[in-house]
Amino acid sequence: DKSDKNIRELMYRGLSAEYVLILERAGEVAARLGYKVFAAGGIVRDLLLGMECLDIDLVVEGDGMELARALSLEYGGRVRVHPKFHTATVYFADGRQVDVATARVEFYQYPAAMPQVETSSLHQDLYRRDFTINAMAVSLNKDDFGDVVDFFGGREDLERGLLRVLHNLSFIEDPTRVLRGIRFEKRYNISFEPQTLKLAREAVQNNMLARVSLERVWEEIRHLLMEPRPSLGLARLVELQLWEYLFPGVLYAANKVVLDELHLSIKVLRSWDLEEPDEPWMVYLIAILHQTDSEKAREICLRYHLNKRQLEKVSAALKGWRGVMEGLNHPEGLNTSVLARRVMNVPRECYPLILAYLVNYVTRRRFRQVLTAVFYDKPSINGKDLRALGFKPGPAFKMALDAVWQARIDGLVRTKQEELIYAKEYLSGYEGAINDV
């Protein structure tokens, strides 16, 4: 019935005011141009699930590029059009962005002996999507704002927790949908519907993924590694026999325990208030590769075209994680500065792995101390103080301050006065560092 079909209330409650405003404006602009406009894909799914959704994907029955231009003209923001695909992106001043697609009226060929039927262009657009739960839309025009368009039973599948492809050739058309499916399964705690699962397994058996560029495969892996619990998806890759293709030569079993625990380590580290890793996916990539020999690990990184800087980070992590971990577990206890130097040789993306290996409270607390020293403990003196002592600025200053830092985190100096004395002694050993005066 009509009231059930309309999710206007859900939109007002579930989306921020700015978000709703953009949707309403899109509806107004479309009406003026004589078009119909819909928000499609993830937004409807996430609204129905009561989850946050940040993407805005619009589908226009009409010229999407024209609508995008009109929207940006009227409400500010820049627009970038992609004429080849009849799509456009509007970038609003507040950082929000909206993707606009054009749905074209075409003849839609039903399989088998069905007659050719003209279907709505929205139907066309939604039919090309990966799963029924992603193939819903919501109308934005004023007269039916909030009406859900659900040709394929996505809403019911969502309620029943089922991931279903729209047709039997879906995974053949685009095998990365298997990987996307795994991501949605674990994110929403739903499952492939039996027939879809069968099709997915067939696609794997026929090695369909090998037909896709490794760039696209990596994009999907990277997304998987940024989910809240990537280990669930990784275990599913193993179940569906995709692991060996995606990570050739890497043993899953050897890493399973650590992988399963990594999200907890990430949470603990977050509570320590350090800088977050720049590349969250790399946390998991490092954990996946940490027991693999460096040559093989490198091959995998090259396979997925990691850039030079990323390669260096992964390689530093794989070389250094054990040293940090063993240092923290050292029976006699190592100096903070020794541990700090080891920590400084691995990227932040490696900390969760190290933490996952620290099984007792004492070593975990020690790790925190060392990280705090690395990030926050700075000498209270600086170059100016050294000049005031009568030393000539030069490369030795940096070394002296570094030595002071080391002494400080090892507890050898505590006050500013002690730091000054320490630096003075250090620099006196350097010929030419003392001023003539």
**Between residues 9 and 55, which has the closer beta carbon with respect to ligand ATP?**
55
Window 17-56: contact mask with ligand ATP (x via CB under 6 A): ------------------------xx------------x-
231 binds ligand ATP (CB under 6 A): no
Residue 148 bridge partners (DSSP): 138
Q: Which of residues 59-98 bind ligand ATP (CB under 6 A)?
A: none
Q: How many residues bind ligand ATP (CB under 6 A)?
A: 12
157 binds ligand ATP (CB under 6 A): no
Radius of gyration of the CA atoms of the chain, in A: 29
134 binds ligand ATP (CB under 6 A): yes
**Between residues 36 and 129, which has the closer beta carbon with respect to ligand ATP?**
129
177 binds ligand ATP (CB under 6 A): yes
Between CA 92 and CA 111 the distance in angstroms is 42
176 binds ligand ATP (CB under 6 A): yes
Q: What is the 3-state secondary structure (H, E, C) of 176-205?
A: HHHHHHHHHHHHHCCEECHHHHHHHHHHHH
How near is the Cβ of 135 to ligand ATP at its closest, in Å?
6
**Between residues 101 and 370, which has the closer beta carbon with respect to ligand ATP?**
101
Task: Report CA 251 to chain centroid distance, whole Å.
Answer: 24
Q: Are strands 137-139 and 148-149 parallel, antiparallel or unpaired?
A: antiparallel
Question: Any idea what the Cα angle at residue 138 is, between residues 133 and 143, rounded to 5°?
Answer: 160
Q: How many CB atoms lie within 10 A of CB 280?
A: 15
Between CA 105 and CA 125 the distance in angstroms is 10
Between CA 144 and CA 382 the distance in angstroms is 66
SS3 105: coil
How near is the Cβ of 281 to ligand ATP at its closest, in Å?
13
Residue type, 110: Y
**Between residues 130 and 157, which has the closer beta carbon with respect to ligand ATP?**
130
174 binds ligand ATP (CB under 6 A): yes
Tell me which stretch binds ligand ATP (CB under 6 A): 74-82, 130-138, 271-279, 302-310. 130-138
102 binds ligand ATP (CB under 6 A): no
Binding site for ligand ATP (CB under 6 A): 41-42, 55, 57, 129-130, 134-135, 174, 176-177, 180
